[in-house]
Amino acid sequence: MFNKALHDLIEQKLKESLQLSTHALPGVENLRTVMSYSLLAGGKRLRPILVLLCARLVVKNMRQLRSDEAVYETAMPAALAIEYVHTYSLIHDDLPSMDNDDFRRGKPSSHKAFDEAAAILAGDALLSDAFLLLSGAENNAAKQCAQLALACGSVGMVAGQMADVHCMDEKNAPDTNYWLQIHRLKTGQLITCACVLGALSASANEQMLDQVRKFGEHLGLAFQLYDDLVDEAPLCKLLGKEQLRKMADDESEKALSTLSFFELGTEELKELVFNLRDSSSC
């Protein structure tokens, strides 16, 4: 677990966010059930935790005397929106036309627990509702919406997924650089965006925003490289375990060194990076 207190706070806010009423039309009431099945299925909440910790980082370094609770409240629309988008991506990734996975987090994946149409629609609803939530942000709402759209759309995560699908064909076997590009788009963009949204929700200046973005880029790539190591993914076979671990450790070191720009509020983020590195030891 990356940060128990923030994990639990996010869990509670995600539950509350699903209280929105839907149409009482027969069949439609099921939509919330399908959405919440995946949204509340026990994720680690890495991305929303990053939103909250990066907001706190910025506030502390701008020497603002705001309580952590108040900072988290301001950043919460972004934290929820990013987890909605992440959940949609997992539901769609598990579909038969994508990765065709019957299980996710040890439970039947959405299209198995319900059906394919329900899974597609729940994913669509989560993606759309993410922007509705984010549009209510107190600071920089339009900028935050634009950053999320860039990170998850045609120049971000979806582009990465397209590249990944392209490589499923044996004749398109990717080299290391191609894999790194896929990782940056498919996984890295959303993790980077989580950090950027946190900073924007705290009205970061350009310099801070830039550092937070760099932190997210290194962390995002490190996250996927460690995941490849644990899963013995194709890149692991291409490079060998030792080199892949070195590459992942280098990225997490770079993430840590971007934090040295900040004087305050870095401990929790450093802990998260160490946690990520240690949880991949095998």
Q: Which residues bind ligand GRG (CB under 6 A)?
A: 43-44, 46, 89-90, 92-93, 98, 105, 157-158, 161, 186-187, 224, 227
Q: Residue 104 — φ and ψ, nearest 5°?
A: -145, 125
Nearer to ligand GRG among residue 85 and residue 209 (C-beta): 85
Please, are residues 46 and 220 in contact by the beta-carbon 8 Å criterion? no
From residue 154, give the alpha-carbon distance in Å to each of 43, 159, 161: 25, 5, 10
Tokens of 38: 């995946």
Q: Which residues contact 4 (CB under 8 A, 6 or more apart)?
A: none
Q: Which residues pair with 104 in a beta bridge?
A: 107
Q: How far is the CB of 251 from ligand GRG (least distance, A)?
A: 15
Give the shortest CB-183-to-ligand GRG separation in angstroms.
8
Q: Based on CB atoms, which residue is closest to ligand GRG, 93 or 129?
A: 93
CA nearest 255: which of 241, 266, 242, 264?
266
Q: Which is nearer to ligand GRG, 110 or 224 (CB)?
A: 224
Rounded least distance, CB 105 to ligand GRG, Å: 5
The owner of tokens 């460690």 is: 226
Taking the least distance from each CB to ligand GRG, the nearer of 69 and 278 is 278
CB of 259 to ligand GRG, least distance (A): 21
Indicate the residue type of 41. A
Residue, CB closest to ligand GRG: 43
Q: Return the number of the residue (206 or 278) whose C-beta is nearest ligand GRG.
A: 278
Residue 274 beta carbon to ligand GRG: minimum distance, rounded to whole angstroms: 17
- CB-nearer residue toward ligand GRG: 157 or 247: 157
Cα 218 to chain centroid distance, Å, stands at 14
The CB-of-242 to ligand GRG minimum distance in angstroms stands at: 21
In terms of Cβ atoms closer than 10 Å to its own Cβ (0-12, 13-18, 19+), residue 195 is buried
